[in-house]
Amino acid sequence: MSGFAKGQGCSDAGFCTMGAMRPNQSYSSKSSIKLRSVEFLQYVGVTKFNDVILTSLVDINLAVGKRGSVQLKLPYTFVSGPLAHTSGMSDISYSYTHALLRKKTFQILGTVGGKLPTNNSNKLSSDGRALPMYYQTSLGTYDIVAGISFVTRNWLVAAGYQQALNKNDNQFRWSQWSGSSLNAQALEYSVSWDLKRGKDVMFRVERNFRSTKWNAYVGLLSIYRFTKDEVSKGTENVRVLATGTDGVAITALTGIGYRFNTVVAIKGLFGYKVLSRLHNADGLSRDYVSSLSLEIQF
């Protein structure tokens, strides 16, 4: 499975595809939560530095009672770029979603959860130099996540919050690449030494179009980092706020899906970057993104 489109990716950060905040949610007055499903997803992203990110993900959803469900996301990532080639498990996402309110024409869902790091976010180049966050398969932090959504047959409005609880162990700074033949390329990336990401809020709005077999949607996803990222600087390891790491990133999204039967469905997602932050020390910015997935309900 593969796909390709322009976009400001959120897949690495994770919370805009968790529980109540995920795109392309369907509403039925007969059932508020899917009983059980597993989704196999392939994600493709390209950064402005020509780094290519491929993520293969298993997304598991299980019902809890009549109104709840738990979600577990298990991703594996490959990164290829001018500085290096890396691969490994990405951060594990977990969440619980509950139908807070169900009416004949709409429902309100709430989600709480988090993310677990799978490594210390300090993968090295082949000659032992620290790599920027764009090349890391894990953000290296424990995160908390919360969100809420309003869903009707035709509309989805969602909001969410994500906060990193600790700094990671990434050691990338420009001095480490002094004397390297790739020094000029390394200087293009933002310093991410002992990075602690700022706090994020997201807002999603989508218009859905559905028939018995087909569905499609268009929407906007905005992520606002309202506190700056924090990094180390200088020989004394002084903590500073990274300039230009706060602000809004906006993506225009569209997607399409087809349900073969009550068990199997296929989905595609495409995006286009409308606005991005000035600097992305966390390595989450994407110029091109897309995903294709196969969902199985059981």
- In this structure, are residues 8 and 253 in contact, taking their beta carbons and an 8 Å threshold? no
Number of residues in the chain: 298
The answer to whether residue 243 scores a pLDDT higher than 50 is yes
State the Cα–Cα distance between residues 31 and 128, nearest whole angstrom.
53
* pTM of this structure: 0.91
Distance of CA 218 to the CA centre of its chain: 18
| Residue recorded with tokens 């290829």 | 80
What is the per-residue pLDDT for 237? Answer: 79
| Assigned token pair, 251 | 């993506």
Give pLDDT tens digits for 80-102. 999 999 999 999 999 999 999 99
What is the per-residue pLDDT for 9? Answer: 43
Give the pLDDT band of residue 30 (cuts 50, 70, 90).
low
Share of the chain above pLDDT 70, in %: 93
- In this structure, are residues 99 and 108 in contact, taking their beta carbons and an 8 Å threshold? yes
| Assigned token pair, 294 | 């196969």
Share of the chain above pLDDT 90, in %: 80
Amino acid at residue number 15 = F
State the Cα–Cα distance between residues 194 and 242, nearest whole angstrom.
12
- In this structure, are residues 28 and 35 in contact, taking their beta carbons and an 8 Å threshold? no
Looking at residues 31-53, what average pLDDT do you find?
84
What are the two backbone dihedrals, phi and then psi, of residue 133, each rounded to the nearest 5 degrees?
-65, -25
User: Mean pLDDT over all residues of the chain?
Assistant: 91
| Assigned token pair, 39 | 């989704």
Closest Cα partner for 13 from 251, 191, 268? Answer: 251
Alpha-helical segments (H) within the chain: 183-186
State the Cα–Cα distance between residues 243 and 224, nearest whole angstrom.
15
What is the per-residue pLDDT for 204? Answer: 96
Q: Distances from the Cα of 273 to the Cαs of 126, 143, 195, 249, in angstroms?
A: 32, 25, 25, 8
What is the per-residue pLDDT for 13? Answer: 56
